Amino acid sequence: MAHAVPLLRPGHHLQLLEGSRAFFPALVAAIDAARTEVLLETYIFDFTATGAEVAYALERAARRGVTVRLIVDGVGTPELPAFWRDRFDQAPVQWLVYSPVGALGLLWPGQWRRLHRKLCVIDDSVGFCGGINILDDFHDPNHGPLASPRFDFTLRIAGPLVHEIRATIERQWSRIAALGQLRRARWSGALQLLRTATGRAAPPPAPADSVHANVRAALLLRDNLRRRAIIERAYLRAIGRAREEIIIANAYFVPGGRMRRALVSAARRGVRVCLLLQGRYEYFMQYYASRPVFGALLRAGVEIHEYAPSFLHAKVAVIDGRWATVGSSNLDPLSLLLAREANVVVEDRGFATQLRERLVAAMQDEGQRMDAAAYERRPPLQRAKERLALVVMRALLAIQGKKYL
């Protein structure tokens, strides 16, 4: 039976961090304060620029006796550079690769089921969950230097969810080992985690004016077993209950029929629906496959704003100024049908207000609102690319045994 959306629990302290410029200093500070363990799971670990600062922090922690475990995805991070493999082995930083790609690459059934989560726990006392990879804001592995920073968010968390995040990473580590993936790993040091709480340092403090205290929150973990629709279900429930405003910022937005109908229904009952989406070309399939769904949304009165300064990688939403989510899940078939994802859902007016203000500013100052009439006049070549992108996406899904209507 599929899991229901979990109840939100109180007692969390949350800090919203925008981009690697805010996330990496907070992460490095927490790692440098670690006394017993650091568990990190990420889709991409890129060692360029400030990404190397995180790597050095992991190395420092391991060299002073902290148990450090790193999991990366086999597509997002197919291999670690030789320089860093050697340093991690010597430290020792333990690391594993989730589902390395074989000779047939992504054509092999199941290979699109990626580990897309971005999670970290330090000493079971502070955690991080969001959409930001270990990747410098001003660097793109495919497009090179960026003139403006990538737009994305993560959360620094203290409270009950930290233990859930820790258990999640531990389970993933054990599963990779059980599946025989250790042939792609490099092991050094003892394998037993230090579980004692004696001598643990308190999590490094965050600026008081940016922390939201006693927040109600829940961790949503999408997998391909019992929690296949948990993140989509949370979105649909919140959208269905919306009465005033829905703001969604999403990098790869190719919503299925249920999501499209929910947004159209909300707009038609008088809810202001605003989408902040990727405005710059990044990947052919994700960029063009999203365009055909815009027509019905625009006709229903949905506002679509395309983010212009840089790549938008945010996976966040705010509804009615109280409900919010921050995480790794896009609203596309790769995230909603195939990938392992992690989102935090929050119900707190102060937190939602902070996130909403940043999204509204991005729409007003850094976005370009799509004109419905101009959309209908888009040229035949663009329409052909859109149809091709949808065909490619559906073919890839068919290989994985999935349909997305």
| Residues acting as catalytic residues | 116, 118, 123, 313, 315, 320
Planar angle of CA 359, 334, 393, nearest 5 degrees:
110
How many residues are present in the chain? 405
> How far is the CA of 44 from the CAs of 27, 52, 159, 187, in angstroms?
16, 13, 26, 20
- Packed helices 82-90 and 50-63: angle between N→C axes, nearest 10 degrees: 20
From the list 62, 60, 57, 61, the residue with the least C-alpha distance to 47 is 57
From the list 51, 61, 46, the residue with the least C-alpha distance to 93 is 61
From the list 35, 13, 31, 33, the residue with the least C-alpha distance to 23 is 31
Partners of 96 in the β-ladder: 71
User: How far is it, in rounded angstroms, from Cα 338 to Cα 189?
Assistant: 34
Partners of 119 in the β-ladder: 41, 129
